[in-house]
């Protein structure tokens, strides 16, 4: 059985694993995201040891961004303009290729998770769908017509602008570029900034969740109208609040106002906007799926 390495490169931690699917993970390790030198060498050391134990076929990296996923580009494999200290213009793929001598697949964390869900999870059999994470940031990826969405660079769904009623919600948003873009209003740090307590500590009945569902639904409405996804998967720490799902379903339903007539939306909203089937492992399994894809598996 072939073995693949996967790295879910996140802003707070790198999750590394070796295996070939959800039922077949041979090893796993986590390293805090500190400096590129330190964190990348820890990931390399883990994979090198695994490769020595039993050869790996390829490696996949699913990373926070913005990044360059274009194989022909001089900065392919780099995290590019991130505001995260130390990580701007960081070559992730180069050092891995050099240290391991293996093909390396590379994409955004959310495109990776989308590919994992397509292969093993909630997007099996679909050709057009979206995967969003609502966590430290808010990001979206997915497939259109069976291909991961790239385009010019890659989607930046979290930075779309959504209506913001300043009277009802005076919180200005936290995005360093746009203030009250979707991420600025609806990712985990926005909940903390608005309500002065970490999102995980807000009780399930707190009004924060109705407002959060309102913002999520506004962005989802645009995504539904633009991409016509067959399903939308919502992952990330904030979506651990399962009471958010029915609130989001109701608000999306209201916003669509009967305009889009599809049984998936009208009769099956629970499945249309749903959590990842791979749960919190969607990210690292997605990275393994990127490794498989780079060698045509
Ligand atoms: P990351 O985005 O860094 O990979 P997460 O997806 O866990 O990690 O996102 C972290 C953010 O999600 C933080 O803002 C945190 O407050 C929030 N968060 C984490 N767990 C929960 C939870 N169970 N309920 C609500 N918010 C959570
Ligand atoms: Zn923004």
Q: Spell out the long-range contacts of 153-158 with Cβ–Cβ below 8 A and sequence spacing 24 or more.
A: 153/66, 153/68, 153/69, 153/70, 154/65, 154/66, 154/67, 154/69, 154/107, 154/108, 154/111, 156/66, 157/130, 157/132, 157/182, 157/219, 157/223, 158/182, 158/183, 158/187
Percent of the chain whose predicted confidence (pLDDT) is above 70: 100
Task: Note the pLDDT tens digit of each residue in 150-193.
Answer: 999 999 999 999 999 999 999 999 999 999 999 999 999 999 99
Gyration radius (Cα) of the chain, Å: 19
Task: Note the pLDDT tens digit of each residue in 235-260.
Answer: 999 999 999 999 999 999 999 999 99
pLDDT, mean of residues 254-278: 96
Percent of the chain whose predicted confidence (pLDDT) is above 90: 99
- C-alpha angle 24/30/36, rounded to 5°? 125
Task: Note the pLDDT tens digit of each residue in 208-245.
Answer: 999 999 999 999 999 999 999 999 999 999 999 999 99
pLDDT of the residue at 83: 84
Work out whether strand 129-134 and strand 138-144 pair parallel, antiparallel, or are unpaired.
Answer: antiparallel
Task: Note the pLDDT tens digit of each residue in 30-83.
Answer: 999 999 999 999 999 999 999 999 999 999 999 999 999 999 999 999 999 988
Ligand 1 pocket: which of 237, 242, 275 to mutate (most atoms within 8 A of CB):
237
Task: Note the pLDDT tens digit of each residue in 87-113.
Answer: 999 999 999 999 999 999 999 999 999
Domain 4-108 and domain 122-275, same fold? Reply is yes
pLDDT of the residue at 187: 98
Please give the model's pTM, rounded to 2 decimal places: 0.97
The CA 294 to ligand 1 mean position distance, Å, reads 30
The CATH label, of 3.30.479.30, 3.90.180.10, 3.30.1220.10, 3.30.420.40, for the domain at 4-108 is 3.30.420.40
User: Which ligand 1 atom lies nearest to the CA of residue 134?
Assistant: 6
| Residue extents of the structural domains in the chain | 4-108, 122-275
Nearest CA to ligand 1 atom 8: 135
The CA 235 to ligand 1 mean position distance, Å, reads 10
> Residue 182 corresponds to which tokens in the numbers above?
């979707």
Closest to 11 in 3D by CA, of 36, 29, 28: 36
The CA 154 to ligand 2 mean position distance, Å, reads 15
Nearest CA to ligand 1 atom 18: 237
Residues in a beta bridge with 103: none
What's the rounded Cα separation, in Å, for the pair 188 and 184?
A: 9
CB–CB of 8/109 below 8 Å?
yes
What's the mean pLDDT when you consider all of the chain?
Answer: 97
Residues with CB under 6 A from ligand 1: 10-12, 135-136, 188-189, 192, 198-200, 236-238, 240-241
The CA 158 to ligand 2 mean position distance, Å, reads 7
The CATH label, of 3.30.420.40, 3.40.50.2300, 3.10.620.30, 2.60.40.1940, for the domain at 122-275 is 3.30.420.40
């Amino acid at each position: 059985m072939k073995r693949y390495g996967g790295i879910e490169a996140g802003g707070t931690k790198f999750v590394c694993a070796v295996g070939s699917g959800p039922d077949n993970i041979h090893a796993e390790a986590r390293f805090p995201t500190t400096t590129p030198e330190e964190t990348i060498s820890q990931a390399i050391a883990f994979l090198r040891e695994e490769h020595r134990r039993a050869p790996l076929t390829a490696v996949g990296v699913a990373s926070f961004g913005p990044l360059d996923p274009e194989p022909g580009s001089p900065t392919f494999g780099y995290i590019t303009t991130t505001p995260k200290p130390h990580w701007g213009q960081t070559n992730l793929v180069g050092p891995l290729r050099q240290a391991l001598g293996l093909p390396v697949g590379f994409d955004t964390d959310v495109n990776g998770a989308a590919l994992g869900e397509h292969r093993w999870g909630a997007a099996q059999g679909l050709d057009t769908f979206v995967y969003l994470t609502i966590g430290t940031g808010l990001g979206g990826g997915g497939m259109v017509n069976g291909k991961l969405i790239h385009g010019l660079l890659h989607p930046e769904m979290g930075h779309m602008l959504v209506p913001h009623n300043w009277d009802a919600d005076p919180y200005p948003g936290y995005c360093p570029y746009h203030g009250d873009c979707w991420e600025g209003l609806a990712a985990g740090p926005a909940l903390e900034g608005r309500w002065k307590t970490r999102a995980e500590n807000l009780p399930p009945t707190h009004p924060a969740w109705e407002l959060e569902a309102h913002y999520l639904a506004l962005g989802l409405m645009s995504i539904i109208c633009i991409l016509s996804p067959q399903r939308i998967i919502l992952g990330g720490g904030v979506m651990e609040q399962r009471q958010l799902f029915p609130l989001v379903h109701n608000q999306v339903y209201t916003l669509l106002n009967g305009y889009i007539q599809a049984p998936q939306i009208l009769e099956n909203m629970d499945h249309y906007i749903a959590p990842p089937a791979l749960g919190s492992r969607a990210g690292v399994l997605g990275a393994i799926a990127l490794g498989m894809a780079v060698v045509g598996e």
